Amino acid sequence: MESERITRCDENGHPLGTATRAEIHKNGYWHQTFHCWFASRKDGKHWVHLQLRSGAKKDFPNLLDITAAGHLLADEKAEDGVREVEEELGIPVKFEDLVPLGVIKDQIHMGDFIDNELCQVFLYRMPNHDVKYKFQEEEVADMLVMEFEDFFGLCTGRKEEAEAVAYGDYADRFQKDTSTKVNLHDLVPHGKGYLEKVAALIQEQLDA
């Protein structure tokens, strides 16, 4: 995976050649990624689905994150990102069913890990809340759902913690159908403003 070729670009998305994934993160090159957030509706409420990253992941194991996401390889476009959804979650999604939320910059700098992303962000409004996920175990440990109102509160600093419910029995940390208190420390430490922007854009779509 570290040897995959990815297009490096400038801060505005203009391509500057290719580099390996390892080189991208070592040198802090800007690059394109695909982010897909799932939202569903149940009991008159909107819910957001948060992936629990596998404990085997090199980066940010056992933390909650975007429903499905990944790097776009050098020969890929945004529409090719739907492969990440099916690979990680076992859910086939058509690109035309996704709502584009735009490109959002996300920067995570931790020691030798310098991640400068131009994120192609999308929303998938799920037709059914109770889907049957089939996780790629080396990538995903479980899925947690949270009321969107609470998620928005966490992302904007209006709430310090919120309840989330695990979908399956995969993770030792969470029990199926049991509410668990989570806070921002339980989420991947995305760059300043990323989660707030995403939450606001999702809210616009859910309110439309």
How would DSSP label each residue in 11-36?
Answer: TT--EEEEEEHHHHHHHT-EEEEEEE
% of the chain with per-residue pLDDT over 90: 84
User: What per-residue confidence (pLDDT) applies to 161?
Assistant: 96
User: What per-residue confidence (pLDDT) applies to 53?
Assistant: 95
- Where along the chain do its domains lie? 5-207
- Per DSSP, what are the bridge partners of residue 154? none
What one-character-per-residue DSSP string does 175-194 give?
Answer: -BT-EEEE-GGGB--PPTTH
User: DSSP class of residue 72?
Assistant: P
Digit-by-digit pLDDT tens for the chain (208 residues) are 667 899 999 999 999 999 999 999 999 999 999 999 999 999 999 999 999 999 999 899 999 999 999 999 999 999 999 999 999 999 999 999 999 999 999 999 988 889 999 999 999 999 988 888 999 999 999 999 999 999 999 999 999 999 999 876 555 555 556 678 999 999 999 988 999 999 999 999 999 8
d(CA 134, CA 153): 29
Q: Choose among 75, 71, 101, 104: nearest CA to 88.
A: 71
pTM, two decimal places:
0.93
User: What per-residue confidence (pLDDT) applies to 130?
Assistant: 84
Residue type (1 letter), 164: A
Residue type (1 letter), 93: V
d(CA 124, CA 50): 13
Phi (first) and psi of residue 205, to 5 degrees = -70, -40
- Give the CATH class of 5-207: alpha beta
User: What per-residue confidence (pLDDT) applies to 28?
Assistant: 96
What one-character-per-residue DSSP string does 49-66 give?
Answer: EEEEE-TT-SSSTT-EE-
User: What per-residue confidence (pLDDT) applies to 178?
Assistant: 65
